[in-house]
Amino acid sequence: MKFVHLADLHLDTKFESLNQIDGLPAKRRLEQRKALREIIDYIKENEIELLLISGDLYEHKYIRKSSIEYLNNLFKEIPNTKIFITPGNHDPYLVNSFYSTFKWNENVHIFKDEIEKIDYKNVHIYGFGFTGFYCEETNVEDIEIEEPKDINILITHGSLDGGNDEFREYNPLSSSKLKKTGFDYIALGHIHKPYYKEERNQKIIYPGSTIALGFDELGEHGIIAGKIEKGKNNIEFIKIDEREYIEKEIDVSKFSSNEEIVENIQDLKLKEKNLYKIILKGKRFFNIDINEIEKLVEIDNIVKIKDKTVLGLDIDKLANEKNIKGAFVRRMLERQKLEGLDEEFVEKAIEIGLEVLK
C-alpha cells in the first residue's frame, strides 16, 4: 500500500520568532501552503493510496476558514486517495473546531477520542485523536488487532518514551508496548524532529514538522513516503521545506570591538533561502552590544544574534587593584553580596563600567 505520512504542519501559525524581519511570518505561512501543494502534486504523480496526517495540521487558535477551504480543495484533487486525520493538541476535535463544523471532502476521515478501525481494501487503519488540548491517557497500546494477517496501521498524535510531566500531558506512548501490538506501521505526530532511521524495521515513525517552525527545529523538514507491506516497509524521507533554520557560531575571544563582530558576521557565506541564528561564543574583553550589532549587520536572513560569551576579565584580580577600576569592582561585588544580585547581571555591569572607565 503506497502512502504519504505528514504531521505538525501547524497551518496558519504566527511564526512569532520571525517578527523582527518585516513580512517574513507572512511569507512562511505562504510557504506552508506551497508545501501542501507540493505534497498533493507528489500524491498525484505517484498514485498514492493513503495520506496519513498525524495531528497538528493547523493551529486551532489562528486558523482561518479560507485556509481550511484551501486545504479541502487540495484534498478534492486526489479523490482516489483516502485521507486519515488524527487531531492533535494544537488542532483538537472540539465542538467549535473546523474538524466538527466544516463539510470535508468525502475522501477525508477524521478520528475522535474513541479508538476506531476503518477498513480500506486489505488494510485496517486504527486511529485515535485529541478532543482537548491535553490527553494524558489512552488505550492505543492495548489495541488487539483483529486481522493480524492483513496490513494494520495505527495513526495517532503523542509523545514517545517521554519521562517528564510535559510529555505525560500529550498522549504518552511506550515504544516497547507499541511494538508488541503488531502494527505494520505506526504513524505518529507531535515530535517535530523526523524519527525514522532509528526504528529498526521502520514501523514507529515521526515525519517531523512539515516545515520548520523555529531554531529548535534545525535541519531538513518534510514528509515520509513509501510502501507498507506485510513484514517489510520501504520508506523514504522527502524534503519539502525549501528553507532550513541554521545556527552559526563565532568565537569573539580575539576581538576587541563590536565592529569586529559585525565584520565577521558580514563575511559569513550564508545561503539566501535559509534562516540563521548567530551565536557569539568564547571569552569577551569588551562590552558586547547586541542591539548595536543587529542594527549594523546588513544580512536580511539573520533572524537572531545571541550572546553566549563569558567574561574574559579576572574579576578577583581587578578587585585587588589600587585604582578607580579596582574600587568600582569591589563596590559592585559588595552590592552583589548585600543585595543578592544575579552574578551574570553584576558581571555585565562591571564590564560596562570598566568600558566607561577606560
Express each pLDDT in 259-270 by its tens digit. 999 999 999 999
Average pLDDT, the chain: 93
* Residue-wise pLDDT tens digits, 211-244: 999 999 999 999 999 999 888 899 999 999 999 9
Rounded distance, CA 194 to CA 54, Å?
13
Tell me which DSSP letter residue 274 carries. S
* pLDDT at residue 298, as a whole number: 92
**Domain boundaries defined on the chain:** 2-239, 245-356
DSSP 319: H
- Count CA atoms within 13 Å of residue 209 on its CB side: 24
Give pLDDT tens digits for 262-316: 999 999 999 999 999 999 999 988 889 999 999 999 998 999 999 999 888 788 8
CA distances (Å), origin 64, targets 12, 97, 105, 301 = 7, 11, 18, 28
- Residues 47 and 41: their CA atoms lie apart, in Å, by 10
Select the CATH number that applies to the domain covering 2-239 from these four: 3.60.21.10, 1.10.3720.10, 3.90.76.10, 3.30.450.20: 3.60.21.10
3-state secondary structure of 26: helix
